[in-house]
Amino acid sequence: MTTLFTGYRLGDLALPNRVVMAPMTRVRAAPGGLATPSMARYYAQRATAGLIVSEGVQPSLIGQSNPGTPGLHSDEQVLSWRAVTGAVHSNGGRIFAQLMHGGRVSHPDTTGHQPVGPSAVPAVGEVFTPTGPQPAPMPRALATDEVPEHAESYALAARRAVDAGFDGVELHGANGYLISQFLSANANVRTDRYGGSVTNRIRFAVEAAAATADAVGASRTGIRLSPGGTFWGVEESDVPELYTALLAELSRLELAYVHLEATSADDTLLGLRRAWPGTLIMNPVLPMGSRQTDRTAADRWLGLGADLISFGRAFIANPDLVERLRTGLPIAPADESTYYQGGDAGYLTYPAYPYAA
């Protein structure tokens, strides 16, 4: 019988369990997008997860969304990440880097550049900047001949990730960031080969994934998707058709996995499970919604055909989450005020379960 604690083979990796630590922005990087010793301790504390997916890492400066986030586009950044991956591996863990190009969800005060996107359509809401939240600015629409270089930026960052010691990479194709913007029917109003039809709107995602798989190997390349999600004001038309077509193209690449968020109804998600022949990581609850993934939600999706289950916020206050899930121990609550405040409080200060002596 398959459970959360049954091992799983993911490419060349032998996972000891099916618990995945989901990517979560924590804005603890040093100036210059460098990983820090505190980040090494944070991830190493959670190395009992079958797989860790890092916070979103910008593949280029113009791809940076939030201040205080790390990058993988310089030699200095690569060097800084080696301490993180080394600490995770020393504790017996496995870690993928999530590559996140923010696209229009950025600000000149953060990067020094006007954000870019598929079209000159701003995101909905306020974006984070070094001086606090500000209205999302108007992005510059990428020219047709510029689009491939942004797809290639994921591949270049993936090479750096492997050089930094990561076991693989996950392309952030969800939650209203650049890949998601190209999939969208309202953020992407292009009339060239990257816009309009389903075939055209999935093209950027496929090109980014293909370039990355070519750079570091398909078995080291995954992608996260949020079918029907409305983050940052994106809207998607014909969600089942759009994502079925996307998964059909991605299946030709034989990627390590697809990581789905529960942003659509179960019947849509189950249809996508049937459409995807490879490993499926399922995040069973709406990201940043009122519920957190728990054992009940995890077991339900394992029964529905998911191979691995990702847990996000539960990992913040529970570095020993796998053991707590295994033994039925209480899941400690996290202090939301410390999610993005920086420093070690609410980051390294959560203990393992205090067993009685």
Burial 10-42 (b: 16+ CB within 10 A, else e): bbebebbbbbbbbbbbbebbbeebbbbebbbbb
> Cα 207 from chain centroid?
18
R_g of the chain, CA atoms, integer Å: 19
Count CA atoms closer than 13 A to 291's CA, side-chain side. 11
Candidate list 42, 177, 194, 243, residue with the active-site label: 177
Q: Is 42 a catalytic residue?
A: no
CA 169, 175, 177, 179 dihedral sign is positive
Please state, in angstroms and rounded to a whole number, the distance separating the CA atoms of residues 311 and 251. Answer: 25
DSSP state of 299: H
Between CA 103 and CA 150 the distance in angstroms is 10
Helices in the chain by DSSP H: which ranges? 37-45, 75-90, 108-111, 147-163, 178-183, 198-201, 203-216, 239-251, 266-275, 295-303, 321-327
Structural tokens at position 308: 């691995």
* Residue indicated by tokens 């939240």: 133
- Give which of 194, 167, 191, 166 is closest to 178, Cα–Cα: 194
Q: 222 has which bridge partners?
A: 170, 257
Sign of CA dihedral 115, 232, 170, 345: positive
Phi, psi of 51 (to 5 degrees): -150, 135
Contact 201, 188 (CB under 8 A): yes
Q: List the end-to-end C-alpha distance of the chain, in Å, as a whole number.
A: 34
Which active-site residues does the annotation give? Answer: 177
